[in-house]
Structure 1
Amino acid sequence: MIRPILHDPIFLSRPSRPATKDDLAVARDLADTLSAHADHCVGLAANMIGESVCILAVLDGSRVRVLVNPEITKHSARTYQTEEGCLSLPDTRPTERYESIEVRYRDEAFRKQRGKFSGLVAEAIQHEMDHFEGKLI
C-alpha cells in the first residue's frame, strides 16, 4: 500500500527500534511507496511513512531493495562531501558519505543477507540509516 510521506521533524527526530517479523507489512508498504516516488526519490526509511522501525527501501537499478535492520559491517576508507535532499524535508544539506559499504541485513522475507553497495545506492542507504538514529539530513 502506498502511504503518505511524513514531514513532521519532531517525529522524524525520534530513534527507530529494530524491526521484527511482525513489521514486514511495513516493509511492503515502504517498497510500494518508494515505487510510487521513484521518479524523484532513491530511498525511504520507515519513519518517513510514520513507522519508527529500522527498515529502509532503496532503488538499486530498476529494483526496489528492502533492507530490514541493516548494519554497515565494512566501509571504504575514502569518503566524499555531497548535498542531499530528503522527501520529508525541504532543501538540501551537506553531508559526508563513504564511497562504498558492506551491509548485513534481512530481506523482505526476514532472511539474512549481505550486500556490497557503492555510488548512489550506498549514499541512499547511509542517508536512510541516519533516519534510524533520528538524524535529519
Structure 2
Amino acid sequence: MIKPVYVYGSPVLRRVAQDITPDYPKLKELIDDMFETMYHSDGIGLAAPQVGLSIRLFVMDGNPLAEDNPELEGFKKVFINAHIVEKDEHETLYNEGCLSIPNIREDVERPESIVIRYVDENFTPHEERYDGVAARIIQHEYDHLDGILFTDKVSTIRKQLLKSKLNAITKGKFSASYKVKLA
C-alpha cells in the first residue's frame, strides 16, 4: 500500500526515532509498503519517519543510479535499528534531494565512507563499511532517524535562501507527483 510522505514541517521528521523489536506489528507489511511508496515516489531511499513512524527503519534501492554508479546495481537493502559507528574524515560534496522536501536540491558535504551496525528484515545483525554514493544514501536516510534533514547541513547562506521555499512547503504551496501529508 502506498503511504503518504510526510513533508517539511511535520513534527515526526524532527524526532529521534526508537529502536524496534522483531515482534513490531506487521513489520514485513510495513517494509513492503515503504518500498512501494519509495518506488511510486521515484525515490532511492525512504525512512520510517517519512511515512509518519518514529522508528529506526529505512529502505533503499540504488538501482536507479546504477548506470552512473555500477556498484549500486542490485543494491537493495533494509536497515533496522541502524547506528553509524565510524565516519571517514574525508568529506565529499554531492547534490541531494528528499521526498520530504519536494522540488529542492542542494549540495551537501558528507563523509566519503562509513561503518554502520544494523539488523536486516530477519533481525540478522550486520556491521558493514560503505563508500561513495551508497554511503551517502545511507547517511541521508540515517539522518531521518535522528530528526535531521539534508537542508540542516547546507551553509548558513543557503539556509537563508531556502527559507521562503521551506515555509511554502509547510503551507502546502508546492507540487509533488506522489501522495504527501502536511504537518
* Residue-by-residue CA offset, 1:67-121 (whole Å, 9 max, x unaligned): 1111122232211122211011121233221111121110101111122212222
Unaligned runs of 5+ in 1: none
SS for the counterpart of 1:16 is coil
* Residue-by-residue CA offset, 1:37-64 (whole Å, 9 max, x unaligned): 3483111111111110011111143342
Unaligned runs of 5+ in 2: 63-72, 151-183
What is the TM-score with the length of structure 2 in the denominator? Answer: 0.65
**Larger mean Cα displacement after TM superposition, 51-60 or 8-17:** 8-17
Q: CA RMSD in A?
A: 2.2
- Bigger Cα Rg: 2
Q: Structure 1 runs of 4+ off > 6 angstroms?
A: none
Which is richer in strand?
1
Partner residue, 2:123? 110
**Aligned partner letter, 2:48:** A
Counterpart of 2:58 (choices 56, 59, 68) is 56
**Aligned partner letter, 1:6:** Y
Partner residue, 1:123? 136
Give yes or no for contact 1:58–1:121 (8 Å, CA) kept in 2.
no
- Number of residues paired by the alignment? 137
Give yes or no for contact 2:80–2:119 (8 Å, CA) kept in 1.
yes
User: Matched residues in 2 for 1:44 and 1:31: separation?
Assistant: 12
Partner residue, 1:14? 15
Give yes or no for contact 1:70–1:103 (8 Å, CA) kept in 2.
yes
